[in-house]
Amino acid sequence: MAQQTNNETRRLSAGGRIDRSKPITFTFNDKQYKGYEGDTLASALLANGVDIIGRSFKYSRPRGIVAAGAEEPNAIMQLGATEATQIPNVRATQQALYDGLVCKVTNGWPNVDNDLMGWVGKLGGKMMPPGFYYKTFMYPKSMWETYESYIRKAAGLGRSPKENDPDRYDNMNQHCDVLVVGGGPAGLMAALTAARGGARVILADEQNEFGGSLLSSKESIGNKPATEWVDDVVTELARFDNVQLLTHATVNGYHDHNFLTIHQHLTDQSFDKAPNGKICQRLHRVRAKWVVLATGAHERPLVYGNNDVPGCMVANAVSTYIQRYGVVPGKDLVLMTTNDNAYRAALDWHDAGHNVVAIVDTRKNSKGTLVEAARERGMTVMLGSGVVDVQGSKRVTSVSIAKLNEAGDQVEGSVIEVKADTVASSGGWSPVIHLSCHTGSRPVWSDEVVGFLPGPSQQQQLTAGAMNGAYSTAAALEQGMNAGQSALEKLAMKMADVSVPETETLDEAEPMALFHIPHPKPTHKAPKQFVDLQNDVTAAGIELACREGFESIEHVKRYTAMGFGTDQGKLGNINGMAIAAKYLKQSIPETGTTIFRPNYTPVTFGAIAGRDCGELFEPKRYTAMHQWHMEHGAKFEDVGQWKRPWYYPKAGETMQEALNRECLATRESVGILDASTLGKIDIQGKDAREFLGRVYTNAWAKLAVGKCRYGLMCGEDGMVFDDGVTSCLAENHFLMTTTTGGAAHVLSWLELYHQTEWPELEVYFTSVTDHWATMTISGPNSRRLLETLTDGDVSKESMSFMDWRAMTVAGVPARVFRISFTGELSFEINVQANYGMHVWKALFEQGKQFNLTPYGTETMHILRAEKGFIIAGQDTDGSVHPFDLGMPWAVSMQKPFSFIGKRGMQREDCVRKDRKQLVGLKTTDPSVVLPEGAQGVFDPKASIPMPMVGHVSSSYWSANLGRSVAMGFVKGGHDKMGQKVYYPLVDGRVVEAEICSPVFLDPKGERQNV
């Protein structure tokens, strides 16, 4: 049972955008806590005084909450009240608090406060330097799995649920004129402008409400509080029919041709499991004519010693927690900054009634509006100084401050130590350029902005606000409006009537370009200075990588793992590049940047899959007789999307017993196969016959109406890829059949040649596979059975082998083809698909007297193998031509047109005598069935690796012959009849077989000519 605590020690009594009338109970690491509606999980944890929310990935150091948004590197939670509702890697800063929320830390085993991996971290960087996976854990190789499971458990990478997710997810395809990404001042202004101009607009923001930075700001816009301006704009936008507003919706991928994906959180922000089957999350797939990126900026923390101790935060996050959530995350603050803007954190801290110990400003001078405001409040401002390190393990206890030189790369003078529990730091801002990078645009460094800006893009993309380095609210509003107008112009719509509202102007001094605070000791001896908190990359680690020769920033990234995983370098990348640049004595633009890839933040598999799971994952194709097969206990085989009967076991029968029964019944009396899935292509036109002659290897010029012919289809390389029987229905009308799996490809192949090579031929192709139900009756009694149901004359005299006739069967119109894939007297009955079941049942009614036996694909395979008939795709693999298959009778080299495959199969390599050729394989021990795929050798005593001479392609037990039958490839096999070939198997046995004709049964073909 969870322990009860109610200890909101850090919550202010008033203020913030939380609803104090709606308290919420939640569970973190088996302890209960209280929060309010409007809290994020992170703000509630901070309010409750929870300092440690995990252990670090590599060194297992205690970690606290650092940021307030998507850039949070540490507070990664495992969410879920039940096994089935587990969600890994949820950022506490992005998860809305709801009643009954249950979460655990991802990192930390056995628990965060006493971590078993901590000792590894305490040994310092020596045991786990950058590249430690490669260096430490790779040898011996056989131990890697052991290492990996240990590392995963200890480091904690989240876990997926072991039970099925009970929630429903959704995909939605959308189109719009303008997609605005980000609902801060720039995005709101862009959306408002585009909406007023009449464009179809989607505005998406990852937070629970629009406003962005304005939600934690005390500014005024248009002479009213900024949040009121936000409310007014959102209210107006909501009234437009042409505007869609999406909150909790992260645009996480920007793909080619303005295709963007938006991951929208719905019930997962309010419930552990969605009530009433509501949608949990939705993935919007948006094709936007224009995109306005107004994604804002992330504040960069500074890199200093022990900057990962809980209590070290980003300055802006401190303001956000105070202003938006009424939470002051500590008692005594030290602020370190390179710019004016961050002074807001100290002002907010002070105004909330808490103690600001010192403002440590790395610049020698500063007297902007905010700096003066701090001085007026009597705060200590220490110019030209930096925090070199902090002390404390589970929380900051004291802070060491030293004077810096002008360049900020050397400590000058002595270090003083002050007591404090919180360090807020700001090294300026990094524009959030991730999305613009997704489509391959390289970012461009700006000295003025001290950051990378979006580079030129191939997309229909506009940018506005802080992502352009325009950090002031006034500039953001203006750029937003301009982007909106610009989009309207490009869409050829009229300009909107809109103007930029008034804002306050602040005097701001120049920021300083500083990333890495020097320490009295050299970097590799100083306390760890973290660059990437999520991946435990330190300044010393980056220097080591550079020293070891990894000079390209892409290599530094991969060697150190900087910017990997769910973090994607949001806080650390620029600092890391700056440190590499400093070590390599080059500029940041010379060092370059790594590129960002989708997705911006993690996306659940559920949202990606949407409804396409379970029964809806892939369409299934059923024949017209499927219900009958089900009722008669068929086992099914998947052939492409088709469900084909595999065999029909009777009660108590093993598979082999069922196959034996089916095989014997067919050859002794009559069997029936549902062959509806064979591909059928209707070919018409005056040049249809000529076309067939070009795509098949054999001759078609003289095929008369009423006749059928077997053909092989080859590629231009001469290799067989499909086969089937084509029948002449009328002078300019043919019906082609293909293999079940090859139907779509063959149709596309015919279209390709018709459209690209021979458009002058008048010929049309139509897929008619689903129009016909096809049932093959096969066996000595098949004619007698058919005669009971037809008005046609199916006697030997009037319907020979390879003839087809139109007639009625069971009272319905049918095409009956006398063709055979079993070597028995066979009739393939084709009726309109909706008559299929009727005819099938009628056949069984009459078939009782003949013991009509249904058989599936497996018996079909055995019966054809007894006759040496190939299956394209099983006995061919794209490397065998008709001569390899021993089928020269199916190739007509005399045809006037050089058919597809003719030239290819005459290449030098294709006429070698020692090619692998298809032969029959008769095992010396008739009871042994060779495994398909077994490789043959001529000399089983040869040393390993033995020269392999070909594989077994088809192999079965033949009940009719009382022995095994097999086909396979043997080098030069056609000239080796009677010789032995050996198959060494995995289990140590060596099976001996004799090379023979693949026709094991009725070599003269007497059974089908009756």
Partner 1 sequence: MLHIYCPHCGESRDEEEFHPAGQAHIERPKDPDACTDKEWGEFLYFRRNPRGVHHELWVHAAGCRKFFNMTRNTQTYEIKEVYKLGEQPSVVAE
Per CB under 8 A, does 258 bind partner 1? yes
Cβ closer to partner 1: 771 or 903? Answer: 903
Burial of 401 (0-12, 13-18, 19+ CB in 10 A): buried
Stretch that binds partner 1, among 315-323, 556-564, 609-617, 754-762 (CB under 8 A): 754-762
Cβ closer to partner 1: 613 or 910? Answer: 910
Contact status, residue 765 vs residue 683, Cβ threshold 8 Å: yes
Mask of contacts with partner 1, 664-703, x by CB under 8 A? Answer: ----------------------------------------
Cβ neighbours, 10 Å, residue 37: 16
Q: Which of 148, 163, 406, 751 binds partner 1 (CB under 8 A)?
A: 751
Phi, psi dihedral angles at 124 (to 5 degrees):
85, -165
Output the smallest distance, CB 751 to partner 1, in A.
Answer: 6
Cβ closer to partner 1: 618 or 1006? Answer: 618
Cβ closer to partner 1: 259 or 801? Answer: 259
Cβ closer to partner 1: 376 or 760? Answer: 760
Strand partners, 993: 923, 981
Length of the chain measured in residues: 1010
Phi, psi dihedral angles at 881 (to 5 degrees):
-105, 175
Give CA–CA dist 436/639, Å, rounded.
Answer: 43
Return the structure tokens found at 133.
């996976």
Give CA–CA dist 451/431, Å, rounded.
Answer: 7
Q: Which of 13, 114, 235, 755 binds partner 1 (CB under 8 A)?
A: 755
Grouping H, G, I as helix, E, B as strand and the rest as coil, residue 735 is strand
Cβ neighbours, 10 Å, residue 138: 12
Q: Which of 616, 752, 942, 977 binds partner 1 (CB under 8 A)?
A: 752
Stretch that binds partner 1, among 119-127, 640-648, 798-806, 900-908 (CB under 8 A): 900-908
Stretch that binds partner 1, among 533-541, 827-835, 904-912, 996-1004 (CB under 8 A): 904-912
Stretch that binds partner 1, among 254-262, 631-639, 798-806, 993-1001 (CB under 8 A): 254-262
Residues 908-937 that bind partner 1 (CB under 8 A): 908
Per CB under 8 A, does 748 bind partner 1? yes
Output the smallest distance, CB 752 to partner 1, in A.
Answer: 6
Give CA–CA dist 670/926, Å, rounded.
Answer: 27
Output the smallest distance, CB 170 to partner 1, in A.
Answer: 18
Cβ closer to partner 1: 369 or 460? Answer: 460
Stretch that binds partner 1, among 111-119, 644-652, 753-761, 920-928 (CB under 8 A): 753-761
Per CB under 8 A, does 716 bind partner 1? yes
Per CB under 8 A, does 904 bind partner 1? yes
Give CA–CA dist 771/815, Å, rounded.
Answer: 13
Cβ closer to partner 1: 289 or 838? Answer: 289
Give CA–CA dist 367/374, Å, rounded.
Answer: 10
Per CB under 8 A, does 879 bind partner 1? no
Per CB under 8 A, does 458 bind partner 1? yes
Output the smallest distance, CB 681 to partner 1, in A.
Answer: 13
Per CB under 8 A, does 717 bind partner 1? yes
Cβ closer to partner 1: 253 or 836? Answer: 253
CA proximity to 215, closest of 236, 195, 233, 229 = 229
Per CB under 8 A, does 898 bind partner 1? yes
Residues 576-605 that bind partner 1 (CB under 8 A): none
Stretch (H or E) spanning 346? helix 343-351
Per CB under 8 A, does 131 bind partner 1? no
Per CB under 8 A, does 907 bind partner 1? yes
Cβ closer to partner 1: 758 or 801? Answer: 758
Encode 57-67: b = buried (16+ Cβ within 10 Å), e = exposed.
bbbbbbbbbbb
Q: Which of 440, 933, 947, 1003 binds partner 1 (CB under 8 A)?
A: 440
User: What residue has token string 């096994």?
Assistant: 83
- Pairing relation of β-strands 297-299 and 429-431? antiparallel
Q: Which of 759, 945, 978, 988 binds partner 1 (CB under 8 A)?
A: 759
Cβ closer to partner 1: 904 or 926? Answer: 904
Output the smallest distance, CB 260 to partner 1, in A.
Answer: 10
Phi, psi dihedral angles at 294 (to 5 degrees):
-130, 60
Grouping H, G, I as helix, E, B as strand and the rest as coil, residue 537 is strand
CA proximity to 769, closest of 621, 646, 637 = 621
Grouping H, G, I as helix, E, B as strand and the rest as coil, residue 630 is helix
Q: Which of 757, 793, 845, 939 binds partner 1 (CB under 8 A)?
A: 757
Mask of contacts with partner 1, 274-303, x by CB under 8 A? Answer: -------------x----------------
CA proximity to 772, closest of 729, 834, 826 = 834
Give CA–CA dist 585/866, Å, rounded.
Answer: 77
Per CB under 8 A, does 644 bind partner 1? no
Q: What is the CA radius of gyration of the chain?
A: 38
Stretch that binds partner 1, among 768-776, 779-787, 898-906, 998-1006 (CB under 8 A): 898-906
CA proximity to 526, closest of 124, 127, 129 = 124
Residue 614: left if φ>0, alpha if ψ -120 to 50, beta else—which one? left
Cβ closer to partner 1: 172 or 942? Answer: 172
Q: What is the dihedral of CA 509, 512, 518, 523, to 10 degrees?
A: 150
Q: What angle do CA 549, 550, 553 make, to 5 degrees?
A: 150
Stretch (H or E) spanning 91? strand 87-91
- Binding residues for partner 1, rule: CB under 8 A, are 255-259, 287, 440, 458, 716-717, 748, 751-752, 755-757, 759, 898, 902-904, 907-908
